[in-house]
Structure 1
């Protein structure tokens, strides 16, 4: 019978650094660990296999070294996540982060592969996270980040609207009474649906689609905005 694989000294030190960083930001209980690829937004994009290395990570506690690629370790917690990449530990809190949708992969561009998104850490630095070419947009870490942000930010957004605040999601603004962008605006009882068409947002107002609106790659936390539209529109709970 084979016992558990022992971590190396460097792996123990990395885990200690990750745990310490999560503790400083009060992220709560660790829920899962994944492999991915990451680079800061100001760096030259270098895409990696990412999640393809996850079986090796589970078995050996580390991702396989890959020349010229920035493999990252994602530790997801109750209130956020840590990103360990190139010797750095970046911390993301679900209640303050902005998540931007990255353009989907192009079949003729091998440098753009797998599910990806951009998140901001607690200092405001943007980090691009990507999966591998063998995985679809349902990457587990992507779905968990989305659920965590909605869980943390939707109640706070609704409370702000109740207090008369105006919220902005990029070029889109909304109040407890209206939503708008550019020259388009509507009262909530008029808004039926929100959709993405050709990477731009459109609104169905009284049965008529208005668009194209802002590009989705420039809208922070688009899934929170979608949840607000669903909640505040005529078919919502309000």
Structure 2
């Protein structure tokens, strides 16, 4: 009995000392790690783990407090922006981000047509640091306001953390913006996702709500213009009455 037991231990020891056995074990561990990494990468590129957005209501947006960026700031309710003529509003994720600057420039390209419709173009930022807003304005042709409570980024505030840097869509957006000549910096908070709203005049409601699902997920400008054309200015409504 003892002889067979020692013989079995000797066989196991011999197997462990065999270089080919060690190599096979390491290969198996490596293959398992690669498989886990591939699965993680695959899951990161689906929408399973993305923050779920909650649609805003007009009542929610109307009550948001904004601040002007003048030397003597004025605090006002957001409904002032669209009360008479509606508005297109960009909730900027980070003014220094080259992806946000790209979207700002694209929205600004619509301004001549928005002006014809009488629809103003605005942006809100969640913080004012250094010269970030000033440096953003060459890309954005509308007025910019401060949303200190980050309400335009709600009702359910969404974030994309470092998972964004393994998403193929984000890298595609990076290359698109870079090839378009856009550059930026890393100043400020950039994980809370932004969006674009087209709001009708008075109580007409929200005609378009685009929520950024990942870094660089910009709104379709054609959709923005189509929504803006549906706005019925309050002046026209009152004239018909």
Task: Please give the TM-score of this superposition, normalised by the length of structure 2.
Answer: 0.23
Structure number with greater Rg is 2
Of Structure 1 and Structure 2, the greater strand share is in: 1
Of Structure 1 and Structure 2, the greater helix share is in: 2
Task: Please give the TM-score of this superposition, normalised by the length of structure 1.
Answer: 0.24
